[in-house]
């Protein structure tokens, strides 16, 4: 069963890597030998969360998060997070806003897992678990490796007989530009021994990087045809049939 972790905005969208956060949440849940089912995380503002606090908990005050657990095994529920409180607390405690948001998110997830924060000992255990989860995020998702290596890792996963495009890889890695992927692959100078760069085309299926593979631009098409990908006039035919998305395959 594949976990369904979704992020919704009741405020203006902001920069947030939902893919990494989803993977992180699922891995943390697995660390506690539990499974994730369907989890919705809703970003809202102070007034929105205050109304929920009054309606469901009979609390008339601002808070940073409210959790609604639906199931404990597998874990399912909804988290409502006030971005206003996150930003205010980040300033108050002099921490990065993005890390404060992650702390609040994992606080809610830990509640779903079974942690409480009523007593002093519960609060201490919760804080230790939050710190461990944030360290895991930093170690796992904020590695200092050059983005070239991330591009190469994705390209290595493209199966024979399939192609991917620069933009899809850029979106998967949250690079912001398809050109960054092209620049990384240009550094290979057509060497496909370990990294099958010939399987990367542009969004139209055109072999736009063919010249770097040699043979006056003919080698890239030859490599693709040898793997069963139809190419005509330096363009992959029936692109939808042969396109591979890392979201589905990694």
- The domains located in the chain, with CATH, are 4-141 (3.40.390.30), 147-249 (1.10.10.10)
pLDDT of residue 1: 63
Which residues in the chain come in under a pLDDT of 70?
1, 143-145, 250
Instruction: Give the long-range contacts of residues 137-144, CB within 8 A, separation 24 or more.
Output: 137/20, 137/24, 137/102, 140/24, 140/27, 141/17, 141/20, 141/23, 141/24
pLDDT of residue 165: 97
Q: How many CB atoms lie within 10 A of CB 228?
A: 10
Q: How far apart are CA 114 and CA 101, in angstroms?
A: 20
SS3 content of the chain, % helix, strand, coil (to 5): 50, 15, 30
Cis ω for the linkage preceding 74 (within 30 of 0): yes
Q: How far apart are CA 224 and CA 160, in angstroms?
A: 8
pLDDT of residue 250: 64
Question: How many angstroms separate the Cα of 169 from the Cα of each of 77, 198, 220?
Answer: 31, 14, 19
CB 198 within 8 A of CB 224: yes
Q: Is the dihedral of CA 148, 150, 151, 152 positive or negative?
A: positive
Question: Looking at the whole model, is its pTM more than 0.75?
Answer: no
């Amino acid at each position: 069963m594949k976990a369904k972790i979704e992020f919704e905005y009741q405020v203006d969208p902001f920069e947030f890597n939902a893919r990494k956060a989803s993977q992180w949440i699922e891995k943390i849940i697995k660390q506690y030998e539990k499974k994730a089912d369907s989890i919705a995380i809703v970003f809202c503002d102070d007034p929105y969360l205050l109304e929920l606090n009054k309606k469901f908990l009979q609390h008339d005050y601002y808070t940073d998060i409210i959790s609604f657990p639906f199931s404990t095994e597998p874990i399912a529920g909804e988290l409502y997070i006030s971005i206003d409180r996150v930003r205010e607390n980040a300033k108050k405690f002099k921490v990065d806003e993005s890390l404060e948001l992650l702390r609040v998110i994992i606080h809610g997830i830990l509640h779903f897992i079974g942690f409480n924060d009523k007593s002093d000992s519960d609060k201490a255990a919760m804080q230790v678990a939050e710190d461990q989860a944030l360290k895991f995020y930093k170690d796992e998702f904020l590695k200092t490796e050059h983005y070239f290596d991330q591009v190469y890792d994705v390209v290595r996963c493209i199966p024979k007989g399939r192609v991917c495009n620069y933009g899809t890889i850029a979106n998967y890695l949250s690079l912001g530009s398809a050109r960054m992927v092209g620049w990384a692959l240009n550094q290979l100078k057509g060497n496909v021994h370990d990294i099958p760069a010939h399987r990367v085309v542009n969004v139209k299926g055109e072999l736009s990087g063919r010249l770097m593979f040699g043979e006056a631009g003919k080698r890239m098409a030859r490599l693709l045809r040898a793997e069963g990908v139809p190419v005509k006039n330096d363009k992959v035919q029936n692109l939808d049939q042969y396109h591979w998305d890392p979201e589905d395959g990694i």
